[in-house]
Amino acid sequence: MPPSRGLSTSSQKRLRDLVIARVLIIAGSDSGGGAGIQADIKTVTALGGFAMTAITAVTVQNTVSVKAVHEIPGEIIAGQIEHVLSDLGADLIKTGMLASVEVIAAVADALARAKSTHPRVVDPVMIATSGDSLLKSDAVDALRTKLIVGARVLTPNLPEAEVLTGRRIRTLADMDAAVACLRGLGAEAVVLKGGHVEGDLVRDLLIEPDGVTCFDSPRIHSRATHGTGCTLASAIATGLGQGLALEHAVARARAYVREAMRTAPGIGQGHGPLNHGFTVRPFEA
């Protein structure tokens, strides 16, 4: 298997040499395997980290739709978090689908009881790629106050940023105009994902207190977009846990997602999954 075009041979060697970041993922399960906990575990593993989980919901979904959602009881969610942290510890915590006020409260309370000071990467999962809702409307304020405030990184796409800021964000100019509002949400940094802006250019913004960094890439025209947000956030979390500077972690995460899209397996009838394992060479006995 030739070296991936997404990560050079030297980059793959540097990846092997990085510390093993322990990433605790608090998110929902995707039965289709393309997003949620499944995408998170694949991403962290492919980038050289060690993934641990606290599952918040079990979803019945595929590449076409989300048919049903079953929330895990709060005490079980909290138990997973506390039991993992008390033994394995963590370098980063990544949150994804949190579904409801009750789930968000259970997560926040468990982290408080565990006296967690771990940096958090918060992916404010609200709507699946299929268009199905994954966060109840009354839970947005709880997400803002209990988990976004104080987070190391917040990673909204444009529809999520619109909900969080109350602003219309549809163009590159709208993205620039929303910077101050996004800073005001209380996270240390925000990665605003611009994939919903039409056109051949995809622009993401890394918004920090002292400036904004633009990441521009040509659009990959593909239906393999299921789980891109989960994947990006977990890739950023892994990089930070490995000691990368934030800008480097974001750049590597974007490169990883793009190559995973480019080499996607092309399965499913809807928005297909990525090729999370492109960094892994086949095992030969």
Residues serving a catalytic function are 193, 225, 227-230
Q: Residue 239 — φ and ψ, nearest 5°?
A: -60, -45
Residues listed for the chain: 285
- Contact of 241 with 91, CB cutoff 8 Å: yes
The SS3 call for residue 208 is: strand
Question: Nearest-CA neighbor of 141 among 180, 172, 179, 108?
Answer: 108
Burial class, 125, CB count within 10 angstroms (exposed 0-12 / middle 13-18 / buried 19+):
buried
User: Which tokens in the block code for residue 204?
Assistant: 């993401």
Parallel/antiparallel/unpaired status of strands 50-61 and 22-30: parallel
